[in-house]
Structure 1
Amino acid sequence: MGWRFRKSVRIAKGVRLNLSKRGVGVSVGGKGFRVGIGPRGAYTSTSIPGTGLYAINYFGKQKNRELPKVMQKASDQSESEGFNFEIPPELASNSTSSALGCLWFLISVIFFFIWWPLGVVGIISQIVWAAKSLNSPTGKAKNYFQQGKIALQKGEWQQALDAFLKVLEVKPEVNSLYREIALLYRRLDNPEEAIKYFEKYLAHYPDDAVTKLNYAVTLGTVGQYQKAIEVLQGLPTEMKQELVVINALASAFLGLNKPELALEILEKGPVRSRKTMNEQMKLFRYLLGLTYKQLGETEKALKQFYKIYAEDTDYEDVRDLLKELSPSFGG
């Protein structure tokens, strides 16, 4: 059995110096509730006096969350294009530093009632520290990020983009924000700039398969089909089975005028297994119809276009395609 050591020394009313084998800490409070900081970080301690029962909660300690699989993220186009509203890790405050600031403020308040001059000095120093933090590059970057986040929530894409670009002006090392900027440029119909920022982001986060998918789709919008295919073919195996990736690959092969390869990809899709006609399924049938049309298989092409028309009469140019391929079509 290993020996343990713990001793608590009262240094003022409500303030204790805690000594243990792990190191030195300090805590403030009274019976039932205390706030402190020790070798393991800042914490709160709640107890039921006279029972010996207590609980300790450390700041910044969270249960591990199981990350969703990449294929689940990419299974729906709108989800794969989603913005991240969490503050970039490069701007996230150190939890211990923040907890120390809160603890220092509490100690200052306590000392204000014990010996008010020392309490006043503590509170003033806390205000000065907070002001300096707000005016630091990190503080300014956080403020710009919050402005961008609010604009995103309102759907104000240009304002959000401007705010995020200001973040990079004051904190160029916030690499994780490149992804949001790329997505915003794409929303603003500027795929060339979107591609630049996707590439900057992927240079730092090369394993982000969902962003690679968005990057490849954007490459396809500017006619860089071969590069898009290379990116899509490099995605994880399980992700390449998803309809959004199948559609992107088939579209790129059609862009290169290779309908045989497009058909080989599309034949892996859920022709019979999926009954619901969502946006990705409409796109799948549309691409399949175009592929059959280019291969001269008119009846098969008509079958796909009719399925789409039955669900959405205004989808793309399906109406015109049906008139072209079927003279008897009266839509």
Structure 2
Amino acid sequence: MAFRFWRRIRLAPGVTLNLSKSAASLSFGPRGAKYTISPRGNRATAGIPGTGLFYTMRDPGAGRGQERGASAPMVRARDRLTLGFFQRLITPAAERAFVDGLKALNEGDDSEALVLLDRSASLADAAWLAGMLHLKSENFEQAERCLLDALERRHELDSLFSKYGVNATISLPITPEISAHVRPRERGTLLALVEVYQLQGRSGDALIRLDQLLDLDKSDPVVLLSFAELALDHPNPEHLRRIAELSASVENETPVHTALLLYRARALVSLGLPDAAIDVLTLALRRRKDRPDELLRQVRYERALLYDGQRRQAQARREFERIYAEDPRFEDVAERLEL
């Protein structure tokens, strides 16, 4: 899974539906992300808020011919969300409500869109999008109900979006530094449920869903990062060992992996392995290009704490001095230097 980094201006908040004669895309959420469908495979971008850094993740398995119905939409591109008189006669009522809900969303009427999508919630795509809108509105119980309905019909997800040529993408925060884009798929639905549960303070339920996501792909660094952050907030030996096991082969390839190495080190410290944690933090500091300065300082700070705990005061002080030179207000560095 390759990542590519560059800098860009943050995307504007809100909901937009962009239509043209050749393509359509749906996206909303303040922490910008987008998903691009192309014959060479899907490319997704998501950003680290506050840094302007975005990453691209390719999904080569979902290229040409893999999107259900995408190659032969029943509605012409320029009329995808406008059903003609006879088309409306032969289109099932739930599907009509789904299309009308997309039109309402395009026109900026979230309330009407939600009414129509709830009315068509017997359809997997409508339930999925209704769940996302309920999540956006912080109606967590309704969001959970809709997303669970969509998950039960996971094999039907994206069929209607593809039929009408609409690419739907939702941006969800994974950690304070990372936001992920999700599409109407099992993975995206599970991630949305994780967000619902975390916002409700239901950490146990969130961890169960993250376990399901890791079963789908243990190598997904964003999911593993989310699992590690949540598990370390509620640590137990089993979770700590799982973080250590799943992150054992992580290389410092991208800022996402650098953050993951930081969480790996924290798990090792909690397991009583400070020397191993120092080695991991040293690995995390070997690459600095395109890494957020705040992340690098946090890694350096936690390594300094470990040095200090092992009575390696000279190394600890050297680290604290370097952090102070970059940011005198960082954590309690000034106090530790007695300044």
TM-score (norm 1): 0.54
Separation in 1, partners of 2:141, 2:324: 37
Larger radius of gyration: 1
**Amino acid in the other structure paired with 2:194:** A
**Amino acid in the other structure paired with 1:257:** G
Give the share of equivalent positions with the same residue, in percent: 17
How far did 1:246 drift? 2.4
- Could you tell me whether the CA contact under 8 Å between 2:307 and 2:313 is conserved in 1? yes
How far did 1:197 drift? 0.9
- Could you tell me whether the CA contact under 8 Å between 1:101 and 1:126 is conserved in 2? no
**Amino acid in the other structure paired with 2:230:** T
Unaligned runs of 5+ in 1: 1-42, 45-60, 83-91, 110-119
Alignment of 1:179-218 (within 5 A): 179-186=191-198, 190-218=202-230
Which residue in the other structure is 2:40 paired with? 64
Separation in 1, partners of 2:75, 2:126: 22
CA deviations on 1:102-132 (whole Å, 9 max, x unpaired) are 9999xx97xxxxxxxxxx7665334757448
Separation in 2, partners of 1:186, 1:294: 33
- Could you tell me whether the CA contact under 8 Å between 2:127 and 2:150 is conserved in 1? no
- Could you tell me whether the CA contact under 8 Å between 1:232 and 1:249 is conserved in 2? yes
How far did 1:189 drift? 5.1
Which residue in the other structure is 2:74 paired with? 99
- Change in Cα spacing, 1:238 to 1:129, as seen in structure 2 (3 Å) is closer
**Amino acid in the other structure paired with 1:281:** L
| SS of corresponding position for 1:246 | helix
- Could you tell me whether the CA contact under 8 Å between 1:213 and 1:232 is conserved in 2? no
Alignment of 1:114-193 (within 5 A): 123-126=88-91, 128=93, 130-131=95-96, 135=119, 137-139=121-123, 141-150=124-133, 158-159=138-139, 162-169=142-149, 171-174=151-154, 175-176=186-187, 177-186=189-198, 190-193=202-205
Separation in 2, partners of 1:288, 1:227: 22
Separation in 2, partners of 1:104, 1:288: 58
How far did 1:218 drift? 2.5
- Could you tell me whether the CA contact under 8 Å between 2:133 and 2:143 is conserved in 1? no
CA deviations on 1:145-202 (whole Å, 9 max, x unpaired) are 33444466x6x5x436742442213652433211222245446654333211101223
How far did 1:248 drift? 1.8
Unaligned runs of 5+ in 2: 1-20, 23-36, 58-66, 99-116, 155-185
2:262 pairs with 247, 258, 266, which one?
247
- Could you tell me whether the CA contact under 8 Å between 1:104 and 1:126 is conserved in 2? no
How far did 1:314 drift? 4.4
How far did 1:232 drift? 0.8
- Change in Cα spacing, 1:128 to 1:102, as seen in structure 2 (3 Å) is farther
Separation in 2, partners of 1:170, 1:126: 21
Separation in 1, partners of 2:193, 2:70: 27
Alignment of 1:29-68 (within 5 A): 62-65=38-41, 67=43
- Could you tell me whether the CA contact under 8 Å between 1:148 and 1:161 is conserved in 2? no
- Could you tell me whether the CA contact under 8 Å between 1:182 and 1:194 is conserved in 2? yes
How far did 1:313 drift? 4.4
Count of aligned residue pairs for this structure pair: 237
TM-score (norm 2): 0.53
- Could you tell me whether the CA contact under 8 Å between 1:217 and 1:248 is conserved in 2? yes
Separation in 2, partners of 1:275, 1:300: 26
